[in-house]
Amino acid sequence: MKLERLFDLLEWQTHYQKDVSLCSKVNSEWKAVSSMEYVEKANKFSCGLLALGIKPGDKIATITNSRPEWNIADMGIMQIGAIHVPVYPNITEDEYDYILRHSECKYVFISSDAIFSRIKKTFEEAGSILGIYSFEKINGIDKIWTEVLELGEKNYNQEKLDQIKETILPDDVATIIYTSGTTGKPKGVMLSHHNILSNVTITRPNFPLDEHTRILSYLPVCHVYERMVQYIFQYAGCSIYYVENMGTIVDNIQEIKPHAFTTVPRLLEKVYDRIMFKGRNLKGIKHKLFFWAVALGDQYQEKGNKPFYLLKLKIADKLIFSKWRAAFGNEVRFIVSGGAALQERLARIFWAAGVPVLEGYGMTESSPVIAVNELNVDNLKFGTVGIKLENVEVKIAEDGEILTRGPHVMKGYFKAPELTADMIDNEGWLHTGDIGKIVDEKFLKITGRKKSMFKTSMGKYVIPEHMETKLRESKFIEQCMIIGENQKFVAALISPDFQYLKNWCNIKGHGFGNSINVVKNPEVRKRYQKELEYYNQFFSQHEQIIKFELVPDEWAVETGELTPTLKVKRNVIEEKYAESIKKVFK
């Protein structure tokens, strides 16, 4: 059977992968939605939407944490030709207002009181929204999503549903995903069934997956990266377990003992930082062995490791790295990292520890994957995002921008033909906005963003992303942003890791107080100056960080400074800290 539309995965599971299950915690117990239940509920959801008057081309939004109900709604929406508009559950009220109005959604399905409070005003004022349904009981909403299932059961018509499905073409728009870019308003990326499936089918052979594979899912499934990979998991017959929340992820890992999961680099960095924190608290021989193993891991090569090195690594594995794997449940075969640049040393040391991390690259507009590293070491290179997919083209423009062309390229931006024309040229090349180069004639390496690259008043170009990624290796730095456009020197805005900083202050006897006071503390500033002096050795002469400003805030998605994939929103931060920036360059 050939997959041509995304909802063909339902028929695929009915015939070939009957053991697929979507699992979530219900009353402290894992409950699974089987393949047959998945198909039956998706069909009922489709019929329920039809009974509500939904027609092909109508938009339906979902705003929820990841859960089996999301998948059911996703398939139910798409197989009647309606367009799924998945939205992050943790963005700002203004972003919700813009997306729901711009997309002209007919119905919205949500999962919490917090979400309802942020979209209530839009619902009351925007005439296009006919109703809001909740996945759970929410104050102020009297419609539950199961009512749509019940309506579908009462009006069930498989023949009519099949007829509608036959009219849906692979090139029809399946979803509109609003990008949470680092600059400007969100843009609605229109992706077809064929766009996403071209990614699913070509990347599926890269991963050792079958019906016995357990997947941990904690990234928002509304993000095209997590969503596409989940289609791969369903295609392969895996069981997917949705974590309850970030606070329970450690317990959930031990319960599930996953074989694989997807992540973004910042979360891997946090895991690594926690491991290092525990290592630093060890005493005597245990402390020495721990950091001997870490130093050994830093030397790990993709291939060609010498026999004596491998012998030492085997000892380090038994004494140290086996404990790292235990923290992941002891059965992880691989982790896929995307959404932002991964520190090369993290990829290297996790591979040494027996936890392979595969860094990939793409964007919402490319459905999303353009290139990815593989478990096959011939197609793996640390510090790069791997080799391009077989069914896509990649080239580097004269100015260093990465261009890509192929079946993965979006149909365009919703209601924005002029923006589409700026993004996709007359020859079909998608201009990614990323700067990169080809290494060893086949590996793609990302060096920065074209839009965030700036020139100092001395005429020197600075690419801030690689510097920011390096600075986040510091135990003292949670987030940072490099600044200096049209200035004589480069500077940094730094959001400290306040938990680590608090521990350091207590040890040094400086006192912590509150975040506003601590970032002004001369001893604290002196310590950050020392930290920056250390990291400056990794930067070119014109990139040297001369001044810095510590901010008293933790940057977050909810407060608007970060995108859902934890990248800094440069325009938001520049506006929020305009006075601090003036002070730096005074």
List pLDDT tens digits, range 570-579.
989 999 999 9
Q: Which residues contact 520 (CB under 8 A, 6 or more apart)?
A: 550
C-alpha neighbours within 13 Å on the C-beta side of residue 545: 29
Question: Residue 188 — φ and ψ, nearest 5°?
Answer: -85, 105
**Beta pairing, strands 461-462 & 477-483:** unpaired
Partner residues linked to 144 by β-bridges: 134
Task: Give the lowest-confidence range in 18-27, 364-373, 488-497, 548-557.
Answer: 18-27
In 3D space, the residue among 88, 107, 87 whose CA is nearest the CA of residue 148 turns out to be: 107
Task: Give the lowest-confidence range in 65-69, 275-279, 285-289, 339-343.
Answer: 339-343
The reported pLDDT for the residue numbered 401 is 95
Domain residue ranges in the chain: 8-168, 454-584
The reported pLDDT for the residue numbered 87 is 97
Q: How far apart are CA 484 and CA 464, in angstroms?
A: 10
What's the whole-number average pLDDT of the chain?
94
The reported pLDDT for the residue numbered 447 is 85
In 3D space, the residue among 580, 233, 477, 133 whose CA is nearest the CA of residue 241 turns out to be: 233
Mean pLDDT of 410-424: 96
**Residue 567 pLDDT greater than 80, yes or no:** yes
The reported pLDDT for the residue numbered 161 is 97
Task: Give the lowest-confidence range in 87-91, 226-230, 299-303.
Answer: 87-91
Q: Can you give the three-state secondary structure of 312-337, one letter per residue?
A: HHHHHHHHHHHHHHHHCCCCCCEEEE
In 3D space, the residue among 170, 171, 175 whose CA is nearest the CA of residue 191 turns out to be: 175
Q: How far apart are CA 583 and CA 579, in angstroms?
A: 6
**Residue 455 pLDDT greater than 90, yes or no:** no
The reported pLDDT for the residue numbered 6 is 98
**Residue 182 pLDDT greater than 90, yes or no:** no
Place of tokens 């080799």: 387
- At 453, list the tokens: 């690259």
Q: Which CATH superfamily is domain 8-168 in?
A: ANL, N-terminal domain (3.40.50.12780)
**Residue 180 pLDDT greater than 80, yes or no:** no
Q: How far apart are CA 390 and CA 383, in angstroms?
A: 21
Q: How far apart are CA 303 and CA 579, in angstroms?
A: 50
Q: Which CATH superfamily is domain 454-584 in?
A: ANL, C-terminal domain (3.30.300.30)
SS3 breakdown of the chain: % helix, strand, coil, rounded to 5? 40, 20, 35
Question: Residue 160 — φ and ψ, nearest 5°?
Answer: -65, -40
The reported pLDDT for the residue numbered 448 is 84
DSSP symbol at 392: -
Position 126 confidence tier, pLDDT thresholds 50, 70, 90: confident
274-312: pLDDT as tens digits? 899 899 999 999 999 999 999 999 999 999 999 999 999
The reported pLDDT for the residue numbered 185 is 83
The reported pLDDT for the residue numbered 181 is 58
Position 504 confidence tier, pLDDT thresholds 50, 70, 90: very high
The reported pLDDT for the residue numbered 183 is 54
Q: Which residues contact 401 (CB under 8 A, 6 or more apart)?
A: 431, 432, 433, 434, 435, 436, 450
Helices 344-352 + 284-298 axis angle, to 10: 110
Sign of the CA dihedral 268, 270, 271, 275?
positive
Mean pLDDT of 121-144: 92
The reported pLDDT for the residue numbered 452 is 86
Mean pLDDT of 346-362: 97
Position 564 confidence tier, pLDDT thresholds 50, 70, 90: confident
For the entire predicted model, the pTM comes to 0.86
In 3D space, the residue among 302, 327, 451, 448 whose CA is nearest the CA of residue 377 turns out to be: 302
Q: Which residues contact 136 (CB under 8 A, 6 or more apart)?
A: 111, 112
In 3D space, the residue among 88, 262, 49, 248 whose CA is nearest the CA of residue 177 turns out to be: 88
Mean pLDDT of 141-165: 96
**Residue 19 pLDDT greater than 80, yes or no:** no
Partner residues linked to 359 by β-bridges: 337
The reported pLDDT for the residue numbered 17 is 66
What SS3 class is residue 574?
helix
Which is more confident, 249 or 5? 5
Q: Cis peptide before 368, with omega less than 30 degrees from 0?
A: yes
